[in-house]
A and B are shown apart, each in its own frame.
Chain A
Amino acid sequence: MQKVTGELLINKALELLDNGTVNRVLGWKRGEFAYDMTPAVFADAEELKNNFVFNDFCGANFSKYLIAETRKEGKVLVFLKPCDSYSFNQLLTEHRFDREKVYAVGIPCEGMVDISKVKKAAGDGILDIVCENDGLVVKTLYDTDKVIDCKEVLAERCVSCKSRKCVAYDELLGENGDVLDSSRFDEVEKLEKMTEDERYAFWQNELSRCIRCNACRDVCPACTCEKCVFDNPDSGVENKAVSDSFEEKMFHIIRAFHVAGRCTDCGECSRVCPQHIPLHLLNRKFIKDINEFYGDYQAGAEVGSRAPLVNYTVDDLEPSEAVQKGDADNA
C-alpha cells in the first residue's frame, strides 16, 4: 500500500552513504515475525541491501532514537513518516538532539497496518505476510493464502490520521501530503458523553489490564527524560509494579500529564501496549482540551513553538469551567 518502496529508500540510503553525507542509516528490519518490523541501524551497503525493509508494518517512530544516535560520531540518516516528523520537531524544540548530526528524509505514509486486526481477519498461525499493492497476502498454518485489503486492517491511529504532511526534512521522497481534518477526537467525545460512573467503569476496565511493562513510556518520543520520575526514588511516585488499582491510574495520569502539550499524537503508546489499552485516548483528551481551551495547538508542527502548559493568557478558562466544558455528559 505504501507509495514509496523499500527499494527506493535503500537506493537513497546507499547514495547518501556513498557520497559521505551520512555514515549510518536508521531504518527497519524484519524481526522474529513477518509483521514485527524492528528499528535498526545499518552501517554498510551490504546490510542495507539484505535487511532494510519498508512496508505496511513499519510503524515505529524513529525520532526518539535520534537522541542516542546523534551522540555518536558522524551523521545519521533517518526516514521520517509524517507522524515521526512531528515528534522530530518536538524533540528539536526541547533541544533533545543535535539537528546538525541528522540527515532527515521525509517519506509519505499511506497508513500502517494493525497486526491484531490482521490476526482477527486471517486467524492464528500466521507464517508469512507479503505486502502487495493494496493488499496483504497472509500465509497461515491452517489455511490457504488469504488476501486482506490494507484499508480494512489499518491501525486506529492511521484511520484517524491527523496529517500526511512531513513537517521536517532535509529532502523529501515522493509528494508531501496535507494536514487532514481528522476524526481523531470522536472516541474521546464518546467518553465525554458518558456519565462519570460509566467513564469510571470504562477506565477501570481498561487500566486494570496494565501490567506496568513500561512499553508505552519507553517507546514514547516525548518520554525522553534523562531519568524518568517513575524510576526515581526521590520523585515520590517511583514505582515499578502495579500493586493496586490506584497505581495504574496514577501512572497513566502522570504519564499523560507529563507529555501534555508535548505529545504529538503519534500513537506509538497504543501500538506497543501488549494489553491493548487505548492509551491514545488519554493523550487525545489532553490535546482536545488544549485545543478547546486555549486554541488549536499541534505539538511539533513547528520548531520552537511554545507549548500550552508553559504559556498562558490572562483570560484563560477557570479550572471549574474547563471541567464543565470537558464533560459533555453534564455540559
Chain B
Amino acid sequence: MQVKGEYKPLIVAFCCNWCSYAGADLAGNNRLNYPDNVKIIKVPCSCRVNPMFVLRAFQRGADGVILCGCHPGDCHYTSGNYYTRRRMALLFSMLNYLGIEKERTRVEWVSAAEGAKFAATMNEFTEAVAALGENKRLEDLRCKK
C-alpha cells in the first residue's frame, strides 16, 4: 500500500442500495473527486451489514470501515437503519473499548441526493484514517501480502 512514500489507507465502504449507493453514483455524475482507496460494497440496506463483515474487513487489512445508509426515518425498508444505528453504536463503542482508534469506524447517513456529502465524507474519513496510519491493532497477519 506504500506509494511513493505516501501512505494510502484502505477504506471499505458499505453502501445501502437505495440511498447511499445512489448518492455515490451522484458524486460520480457530478465528477466529485474522492480518494480511490475507498472501495464500495453494495448491500440492500445498511442493516444487512453484520458486525462480522466489519471485523472481516479489518482482519483482511482494511484501515477504516464506513457504513452509509439512508437517513434515519427514510429507510426504504422503514426501520433497517435504526437497527444499524444501534448495532454499530455498540460495536464501535466496543472496538474503542478494546483500544481500536474510534476514527477508524464510522456510520454516515447519505441520501440519494447527497452526492456532495458522499464525496466530502469519503475525503474527510480517508484523511482521518490516514492520519492514524496502518491498522495494526486489528489485522490478521496471515492475510497480509
Direct touch of chains A and B (CB < 8 A): yes
Cβ-neighbour of B97 out of A192, A197, A229 (below 8 A): A192
B140 within 8 A of A: yes
Within 8 A of B (CB), among A288-331: 289-290, 293-294, 308-314, 316-327, 330
CB–CB A256/B94 < 8 A? yes
Q: Mark A230-251, 1 if CB is under 8 A from B, else 0.
A: 0000011100000111110110
Q: List A contacts of B88 (CB < 8 A).
A: 319
Tell me if A319 and B59 are in contact (CB < 8 A).
no
Q: How close is A24's CB to chain B, nearest CB, in angstroms?
A: 39
Mask: chain A, 139-151; 1 = CB below 8 Å from B; 0 = not: 0000000000000
Rounded to whole angstroms, the CA-CA distance of A132 and B72 in the bound complex is 59
Kindly provide the distance from the CB of A238 to the nearest chain B CB, expressed in whole angstroms. 11
| Interface SS of chain A | helix
Interchain CB contact under 8 A, B93 and A285: yes
Task: Tell me, yes or no, whether B133 is within 8 Å of chain A by CB.
Answer: no
From B52, B72, B105, give the contact of A254 (CB < 8 A): B52
The answer to whether B89 touches A319, judged by C-beta atoms less than 8 angstroms apart, is yes
- The answer to whether B141 touches A319, judged by C-beta atoms less than 8 angstroms apart, is no
Q: Is there contact, CB below 8 Å, between A327 and B96?
A: yes
- Whether a CB of chain A sits under 8 angstroms from the CB of B76 is no
B51 touches A249 (CB 8 A): no
Write out the residue numbers on chain B whose beta carbons fall within 8 Å of the beta carbon of A326: 93, 96-97
Q: Which residue of chain B has its CB nearest to the CB of A188?
A: B97
A113 at the interface (CB under 8 A from B): no
| Residue A196, interface by CB 8 Å | yes
The answer to whether the Cβ of A199 comes within 8 Å of any Cβ in the partner chain is yes
Q: Does A257 contact B (CB under 8 A)?
A: yes
Mostly, the B contact residues are helix
> Are A317 and B94 in contact (CB-based, < 8 A)?
no
Tell me if A33 counts as interface (CB < 8 A to partner B).
no
Cβ-neighbour of B86 out of A188, A229, A249, A294 (below 8 A): A294
State whether B55 touches A254 (Cβ < 8 A).
yes
Contact A309 B90 (CB under 8 A): yes
Residue B31 is within 8 A (CB to CB) of chain A in the complex: no
Write the chain B residue with the least CB distance to A311.
B86
**B97 and A243 within 8 A (CB):** no
Complex Cα distance A2/B94, Å? 36
Asked whether B134 is an interface residue with its Cβ less than 8 Å from the other chain, the reply is no
Q: Is the beta-carbon distance between A322 and B89 smaller than 8 angstroms?
A: yes
A289 to B106, CA, bound (A): 17
> Which B residues touch A330, using CB under 8 A?
102
B88-126 interface bits toward A, Cβ cutoff 8 Å, 1 = contact, 0 = none: 111111111111111001110000000000000000000
Q: Is the CB of B107 within 8 A of A320?
A: yes
Bound-complex Cα distance A187 to B90 (A): 18
The answer on a CB contact under 8 Å between B107 and A246 is no
Once the chains are docked, how many angstroms separate the CA of A236 from the CA of B55? 11
Q: Which residues of A contact B90 (CB under 8 A)?
A: 257, 260, 286, 289-290, 293, 309, 322
- The reply on A185 being an interface residue by CB < 8 A is no
Instruction: Tell me the complex Cα distance, A245–B82, Å.
Output: 33
- For B138, the chain A residues whose CB sits under 8 A away are 246, 249-250
Instruction: Kindly state whether residue B87 has any CB partner on chain A within 8 Å.
Output: yes
Assembled-state Cα–Cα distance A311/B79 (Å) = 10
> Are B94 and A322 in contact, with the CB atoms below 8 A?
no
Task: Give A286 to B87 CA distance when docked, in angstroms.
Answer: 11
Question: Cβ of B92: which chain A residues have Cβ within 8 Å of it?
Answer: 319, 322-323
> In this assembly, does B85 line the interface, its C-beta being within 8 Å of a C-beta of chain A?
yes
Interface residues of A (CB under 8 A from B): 188, 191-192, 196-204, 229, 235-237, 243-247, 249-250, 253-254, 256-257, 260, 282, 285-286, 289-290, 293-294, 308-314, 316-327, 330
- Given known contacts A254-B52, A313-B82, A322-B93, what 13 new A-B pairs fall within 8 Å (CB)? A203-B98, A204-B99, A243-B142, A250-B55, A254-B55, A316-B85, A317-B89, A319-B107, A320-B107, A321-B89, A322-B90, A323-B96, A323-B105
Chain B residues within 8 Å of A, Cβ to Cβ: 51-52, 55-56, 58-59, 72-73, 79, 82-83, 85-102, 105-107, 137-142
9 A-B pairs (CB sep. < 8 Å): A196-B102, A236-B56, A237-B55, A244-B140, A289-B90, A316-B89, A319-B105, A326-B96, A327-B97
Closest 4 pairs between A and B when the two form their complex, measured CB to CB: A200-B99, A322-B89, A312-B82, A326-B93
